[in-house]
Amino acid sequence: MTTIEHEVTSTVEGSSSISLPSWTISAMLRPISNAQELSVIQDSLNGLPMPEMLFGTNSLVISNKIMTFEYTFNALGALGPVKLGELEHGDGGVKVGYAKEWLQSRTGSASANPMPPTVQAKPFDWTFTTTYPGHISKGEFKFNPGDPENVLHRIPTEELSRPDPILFYSEIPLFEDELHDNGCAFLLTRVRVMPTSFFILSRFFLRVDGVLFRLFDTRIYHSFASSPPIIVRETNGWEAPYASVKQFLPTPDLSPLNDPNFVAKVITSMPKSKTQDPRLPGLSGWRALGTTLEVCYLDRDPLQHS
């Protein structure tokens, strides 16, 4: 396979990037946010309590050099969809015995990251569930519903499973929380660039011990050969009761339930009728369950395909 002209650079400050004829893809990997950075983000989110580990300066930025188009993943955007206030039907609220005490530990005066003094403590989604798919940070483009029957609107899983050379790869954590030692919630974004395309998988993972597992995946694909250039975005929300995943353990050892790859493999191989129907017993009624396919055309008339 003929490789595409490219240049990879990195710095000691945690930035790495690849420059291609039409694209620049940059990843920023920095330490966990300090108190000042946490305060700035918390203020911008109306006092939403912060996860235990927030990577507020981490980001993934995809920029087109010809069109005015830029797409970004960052922690501020990731926490934006987290519900602040009383949870309502469709929010996917998870209620367990320790939730009230956990909430107090995050909003009370003894908290390591208490609410700003000018902001009244409010209930919030203590699981930090987010449906963040990244966002267009530059340009007047938008995503429109895709056509599953149109081959150009599909993410080619066979192509992505080929052992093609990887020109650039990065994993960017945005936040993580251990839910008071009763589970785990995190958001991790991965990008890989091949000679023919780039592919992004951003995954929110939630484990509430004894209750449920939840995934929200965003996949973004672009073929360098597409004309006009097109970005395909697919999001998927899944849930499964804790016991339903546990039964797939190969041995009595519970440690695989701490492995997001094992859990994701189990949930995504289960029938969608059992993992993406909010009416089913054991699920939370979360409105984000299911699949959404969208496309964004990057030609010079961004409204042409709307």
Q: What is the pLDDT of residue 299?
A: 81
Query: What is the per-residue pLDDT for 165?
Result: 94
Q: Are 258 and 246 in contact (CB under 8 A)?
A: no
Domains held by the chain: number: 1
| pLDDT value at residue 304 | 55
The pLDDT assigned to 116 comes to 43
pLDDT of 278: 83
Residue 306 lies in a domain: no
CB atoms within 10 A of CB 70: 16
The span from the CA of 202 to the CA of 116, in Å, is: 30
pLDDT given at position 101: 54
Domain assignment of residue 52, given as a range: 7-297
Q: Looking at the domain assignment, is residue 1 inside a domain? A: no
Distance of alpha carbon 30 from the chain centroid: 18
Report yes or no on 104 lying in a domain: yes
Q: Which of 239, 43, 208, 218 is nearest to 131 (CA)?
A: 218
Residue 303 lies in a domain: no
Task: Identify the CA nearest to 247 among candidates 280, 282, 217, 279.
Answer: 282
pLDDT at 96: 76
Q: What is the pLDDT of residue 119?
A: 42
Q: Is 2 inside a domain boundary?
A: no
Classify residue 252: in a domain, yes or no: yes
Residue 228 has a pLDDT of 87
274 in a structural domain: yes
- Weakly modelled stretches of the chain, pLDDT under 50: 102, 115-120, 302, 306
CA distance 99 to 78: 22
Q: Is residue 50 part of a domain?
A: yes
Q: Are 140 and 160 in contact (CB under 8 A)?
A: no
